[in-house]
Every structure is written in structure tokens, then in C-alpha cells.
Amino acid sequence: MNISIINIGDELLIGQVVNTNASNMSKMLCEAGMEVRDVNIISDNVAEIGSTLRRCLKNNDAVLITGGLGPTKDDMTKKVLCDFFHSELVESVEALENVKRIFEARGYELTPINRQQALVPKCCTVINNVKGTAPCMWFETSDPEFNINDGTPRKVVVAMPGVPFEMENIMVTEVVPRLQEHFQTGHIIHKNILVQGIGESFLSDMIEKWELSLPKSIKLAYLPQAGMVKLRLTARGDNRDLLESQIINAVKELYPIAGKYIVGEDMETLPEAVAQMLRVNSKTLASAESCTGGAIASKITSMAGASKYFRGGVIAYSNDVKECTLGVKHSTLEQFGAVSGETVSEMALGVRERLNADYGIATSGVAGPGGGSPEKPVGTVWMAVAGPNGVTVQLKKYGDDRLRTIERACNEVFAMLIHKIKEDNAKAIENQL
């Protein structure tokens, strides 16, 4: 069962908005056993929308469209859908009720321009958008133009609003379940393995034999990210139990080969691996950030439940904040500078003690583009992790891309923390023996 996604919006084509809708939709569809064949970003243009929809519907079983449903003048989608399905715009009672409900809840007056949102092509099924005023529209067709084989279900077109949280809610609660029901979908299982501390090509060499021995139902992909590689195993087929056991086997066989670089399974990011590690071990964390400027804390706290293991943090951008809030010694800053192993070590120890956490992590570096010197060029980052068994310090030299340096430093210090907790656990077991 193949799907095309069409995201409509000039804002996407001039790069002012990143198209997170496509990735979120793809993720949901994949997890539900459906395959996204292509994503098409096009302009708010009648001819363009029509021809893209025609092409995509010929090649796929369903086409999901986002965008172009707002009340403003640059939105064309509904007009195209009317022409495409030889229908006409009518006011939908349920869509109008939803618009009224939302305006009432917000205490706004319903304007004529907003009432227009309740207009839909007569031939569609309206799917309620509880989070917004633009209705979602479901169309079915058996028109032979679109290459429909005998005995297969009618092809489906769904038009949704482009506002991300509205689209997400409609997808999860309505569109994905309806697609699963309408088409008989097979199984797809994904397994992510986070690998840190080895480059993509070295990893590829290291696990080549293992990769070649994988069953045909399993596909491997390398997803390099800042400072780490995500390995993704994808199993497809009709027998879910078989696929699951094949995946379990494959992962089991990977550990003897590359286990020392594996930092997490069944997750997308290192912060998730950190969260799991802290939760499972009932440990707490505090952060002291200079060059990462809050990115460490933000990554941790963007996950629900973070208050269970994250005590808080200090962003010590200026030196006197490092002294007064974290207790870094004035003499340390004078002798070694803010960007040094000594300072970052005192930052980690200080935040651990002052915020009463089991682990303290710290960064201090030159993210750039300014502030570099011959001894400490842009990209120099010191990192530290302080725990019950002392403090570990590391120096990394990244390039001159500010955001990339911040990203990599976060991932590196997260990896240091994971390895530190593993070590501490091993020590604890040793002491018990």
C-alpha cells in the first residue's frame, strides 16, 4: 500500500518554514505499516496542485495533502479539489459547528472570512478538526484514469490543514485508522540502534559481514547525525511474529561485533538514551552550560517526565556567573581561562553539589564564529561529567559551524554521561562481589 504526500505552501518553497509535516506524517504511516513513496512540496498554485495530485494518484493508492486550507487569500486547495472531483463547494453543517465552537471557546466573534472555512466540496466526507477551524476532507475515487485494478479498494485523497499540531491530531485520531481499515495493510517493524564513537564508514566495514547475513525481509540504513550514527533495521512482511524474531536475532548478533559503541536501542536520540539510563538507575542530573547555552537542558526537558530525573541547570555564559552561581574558583578562571579542563571540571562538580544531583555535566568552549584564539580556536569545547566516583574531562575540537558545534558537544557529553553511569554500575557490582 503506497502513499504520496503533497505539502502545499510557498512558505516551504522559499525555505522560511521547515517541512516537519512530511517527516511526522511519514513516521506515523510507516509505523502503521504503510509505505510513503514520495513527498512533493509544491506552490499554492491551481495548475501545479492539480497536475501533482493527478500524477501521484496514478502511481499510488492514496494521496495525503496538507496546506492551503486557511481563510487567507493565498490558499487554493479547496478550489482545485472541487475541479478535480467535478464537485461544488457547499457549507458543511458539521464543519460550521466546529468553527463556531472554536470561536466561542476563544471568545472571538465569527467573521464572514472564518465562516468560509466551513465550505467543502460536496462529494467529500468531512473529518472533524477538533484543534482548528479548517476541516479535513476525505475523498474516494474509482475513476479508471487512476489505474485502479479490479478487486482493489477505491483510491483515497485526504486534504488536511498545514498547521502541524492540527495535522498531527487528525492523522493520529482519524486518518491513519481510516486508511488501515480502507486498505488491508501489511506489517513494517523498525528497530533503531544508536551508535556513538565510530564513524559511518568504519562502522560499515566493521559490520559488513553481519549486514550481508541479514534475512531478505530486513533492510539496513545508516543515519549519521551530529556525533553519532543511527542504524535502522526495517523488516517488512505479513507475519509479524516472524519479523519480530528476525529483528531480535539480528540485534543479538550485532552486539559481539559492535556492542562497545552501542549506546541505546529503540530510541531516536541520545537524550532519550540518557533519560532511560537515569530512570532505570534512579539517578538525577544537573547541567552547567557555557558554550551549549541551554541546549543540553532544553533537550532533556523537551521529553515528558524529565522532572523525575532532571534537577535543573545553570547557563553560565559570563565568568562571574560561573563563579557566583557554580562556585568556580576565581584563581582557576584567571590561571586557565573559562575554556579549560580545570574550569569545566569545577563547573560539573559545582552544579552537581549545589543542585544536589547524582551527576553533573558541564560544557565550556568557543562555539564561534567569534571568540577564537590560536591556542583555543573556534570549535574548541571542554566537557566534564561529575558523579559519585569523581569527574571525567574531555576536550574536543569541532569546526566553525556554531549550531553544529553546540549539537555535537551536547551529544558528546550525553555519551560521556551514559558511559560514566555504566562504569559506576560496573564498579558497584564489583564492590558487591
Closer to its own copies by CB, 156 or 355: give it: 355
User: Least distance (Å) from its own copies to the CB of residue 417?
Assistant: 16
Q: In the range 163-202, which residues lie near its own copies by CB under 8 A?
A: 163, 165, 190, 192, 199-202
| Contact (CB, 8 A) for 103 and 121 | no
Q: Determine, following the binding rule CB under 8 A, whether residue 54 of this chain makes contact with its own copies.
A: no
Closer to its own copies by CB, 119 or 123: give it: 119
Burial of 55: CB neighbours in 10 Å, binned 0-12, 13-18, 19+: middle
| Rg of the chain, C-alpha, whole Å | 27
Q: Determine, following the binding rule CB under 8 A, whether residue 24 of this chain makes contact with its own copies.
A: yes
Span interacting with its own copies, options 172-180, 222-230, 259-267, 384-392, rule CB under 8 A: 222-230
Strands 119-121 and 125-127: unpaired
Q: Determine, following the binding rule CB under 8 A, whether residue 248 of this chain makes contact with its own copies.
A: no
Neighbours of 402 (CB within 10 A): 18
Closer to its own copies by CB, 140 or 244: give it: 244
Q: In the range 325-354, which residues lie near its own copies by CB under 8 A?
A: 325, 354
Closer to its own copies by CB, 262 or 297: give it: 297
Q: Determine, following the binding rule CB under 8 A, whether residue 223 of this chain makes contact with its own copies.
A: yes
CA nearest neighbour of 228 among 287, 273, 190, 283: 273
Q: Determine, following the binding rule CB under 8 A, whether residue 240 of this chain makes contact with its own copies.
A: no
The residue assigned the cell 569545577 is 346
C-alpha cell at 95: 464543519
Span interacting with its own copies, options 121-129, 136-144, 217-225, 250-258, rule CB under 8 A: 217-225
Closer to its own copies by CB, 170 or 300: give it: 300
Neighbours of 370 (CB within 10 A): 8
DSSP secondary structure code for residue 260 in this structure:
G
Closer to its own copies by CB, 212 or 429: give it: 212
For 279, phi and psi rounded to 5 degrees?
Answer: -65, -50
**Dihedral in degrees, nearest 10, Cα atoms 414, 374, 324, 417:** 10
Closer to its own copies by CB, 41 or 242: give it: 41
User: Least distance (Å) from its own copies to the CB of residue 377?
Assistant: 14
Give the three-state DSSP class for 191.
strand
Q: Determine, following the binding rule CB under 8 A, whether residue 268 of this chain makes contact with its own copies.
A: yes
DSSP calls for 73-113: TT--HHHHHHHHTT--EEE-HHHHHHHHHHHHHHTPPPPHH
Strand ranges in 349-389 using DSSP code E only, listed in sequence order: 359-365, 380-387
Q: Determine, following the binding rule CB under 8 A, whether residue 46 of this chain makes contact with its own copies.
A: no
Q: Taking CA 119 as the corner, what is the angle to CA 113 and CA 122, rounded to the nearest 5 degrees?
A: 165
Q: Which of 244, 315, 393, 419 binds its own copies (CB under 8 A)?
A: 315
Neighbours of 248 (CB within 10 A): 11
User: Least distance (Å) from its own copies to the CB of residue 431?
Assistant: 29
The residue assigned the cell 479548517 is 134
- Residues in the interface with its own copies (CB under 8 A) total 106
User: Least distance (Å) from its own copies to the CB of residue 15?
Assistant: 3
| Upper half-sphere CA count for residue 269 (Cβ side, 13 Å) | 13
Q: Determine, following the binding rule CB under 8 A, whether residue 295 of this chain makes contact with its own copies.
A: yes
What is the arrangement of strands in the sheet containing 380-387, beginning at the earlier edge strand?
285-289, 359-365, 380-387, 390-397
Q: Determine, following the binding rule CB under 8 A, whether residue 70 of this chain makes contact with its own copies.
A: yes
Q: Determine, following the binding rule CB under 8 A, whether residue 26 of this chain makes contact with its own copies.
A: yes
Q: In the range 355-394, which residues lie near its own copies by CB under 8 A?
A: 355-356, 367-371
Q: Determine, following the binding rule CB under 8 A, whether residue 230 of this chain makes contact with its own copies.
A: yes
Span interacting with its own copies, options 147-155, 176-184, 271-279, 311-319, rule CB under 8 A: 311-319
User: Least distance (Å) from its own copies to the CB of residue 164?
Assistant: 8
Q: Determine, following the binding rule CB under 8 A, whether residue 399 of this chain makes contact with its own copies.
A: yes
The residue assigned the cell 486550507 is 69
Span interacting with its own copies, options 287-295, 339-347, 414-422, 423-431, rule CB under 8 A: 287-295
Q: Determine, following the binding rule CB under 8 A, whether residue 398 of this chain makes contact with its own copies.
A: no
User: Least distance (Å) from its own copies to the CB of residue 44?
Assistant: 8
Q: Determine, following the binding rule CB under 8 A, whether residue 77 of this chain makes contact with its own copies.
A: no
Span interacting with its own copies, options 41-49, 138-146, 255-263, 381-389, rule CB under 8 A: 41-49
User: How far apart (Å, rounded) are the C-alpha atoms in residues 80 and 67?
Assistant: 12
User: How far apart (Å, rounded) are the C-alpha atoms in residues 425 and 427?
Assistant: 5
